[in-house]
Amino acid sequence: MSGTESRPSEPSLESTARSAAVACVIPAKDEAERIAATVEAAARIAGVDLVVVVDDGSSDDTAGVATKAGAVVVRHETNRGKAAAMETGAGAVIDRDGDVPRLLLFLDADLGETATGAEPLVEPVRSGEADMAIGTLPAQVRPDGSKAGGHGLVVRLSRAGIEKATGWTATQPLSGQRCLTRKAFLAAVPLATGFGVETALSIDLGRKGFRIVEVPIDVRHRATGTDLKGQLHRGKQFLHVRRALAARRALPPLKVLR
């Protein structure tokens, strides 16, 4: 398998056989336009027998559209953030699991029909090669063909913090496309809030000896640009990631961000 692997300490893999079943958890807010395509595509991933959408206080009909598309929907009456939605979704899966827990596949709600491209994340976790697989995405572009993203400051901050904490250098530390075991997920609860959730998840599991791999996947999401809205979004990301790193005593020196 291609990808990079974290080995911060001795691996802590589950000794029991991994389940062949996968539950896809999709946190969503105001995604009525794309959620049906995302749910239907996620359901086509080999092994996925349950799709849970957590409607995180949407003001549109995200919940109704997701239900019609075949998802089990859990709703937050008010917006509680991605971390809370992930915890709620995983809890809904655990409530339905039998003796052998499903793997947890977390996907963003705006992937649409490209969500099937996340399938390579499942096998390294199912086979026992990893406790968590993180998807690395191809370069994203906006609908007008312009380059997505900013100047990489938030990525550098997250990457440097993870490396300081665990010794592992992540390629795409902010990726929200992740597959992990129930044991690994529960070891990271409570999750960090806001946009720091992915960075903290890698640090918390890496420090506890869980094995992490990165796997290239071909998915596309709604990408932000370099306009004011995009810059404000990345400013908020930076603050949230910095907060998560500070809480874990993993803030890198400023020189690495230049």
Domains with residue ranges and CATH for the chain = 19-250 (3.90.550.10)
For the four alpha carbons of 20, 39, 114 and 223, in that order, the dihedral sign comes to negative
Instruction: Extract the tokens encoding 246.
Output: 């500070």
- Angle CA(188)–CA(156)–CA(206) in degrees, nearest 5? 25
Instruction: Extract the tokens encoding 143.
Output: 């609908």
Which segments within 7-149 are labelled E, that is strand? 22-28, 48-56, 72-76, 103-106, 132-136
- Angle CA(224)–CA(152)–CA(237) in degrees, nearest 5? 60
Region of 30 (left: φ > 0; alpha: ψ -120 to 50; beta: rest) is left
Q: What is the CA radius of gyration of the chain?
A: 17
Q: For residue 15, give every residue at least 6 positions away whose Cβ sits within 8 Å of its Cβ, in sequence order, or none.
A: none
Contact 82, 237 (CB under 8 A): no
How much is the pLDDT for 13? 42
What three-state secondary structure class fits 51? strand
| Alpha-carbon gap, residue 195 to 249, rounded angstroms | 17
Alpha-carbon distances, residue 239 vs 194, 223, 234 (angstroms):
9, 19, 9
178-180 and 103-106: which strand pairing?
Answer: antiparallel
- H or E stretch including 213? strand 212-216
| Alpha-carbon gap, residue 193 to 200, rounded angstroms | 9
Provide the residue-wise pLDDT of the chain in tens; the chain has 258 residues.
Answer: 445 555 444 444 443 446 689 999 999 999 999 999 999 999 999 999 999 999 999 999 999 999 999 999 999 999 999 999 999 999 999 999 977 899 999 999 999 999 999 999 999 999 999 999 999 998 756 665 555 555 689 999 999 999 999 999 999 999 999 999 999 999 999 999 999 999 999 999 999 999 999 999 999 987 665 565 666 667 889 999 999 999 999 999 876 666
Following CA atoms 133, 139, 141, 147 in sequence, which dihedral angle do they give, to the nearest 10 degrees? 130
Contact 69, 24 (CB under 8 A): no
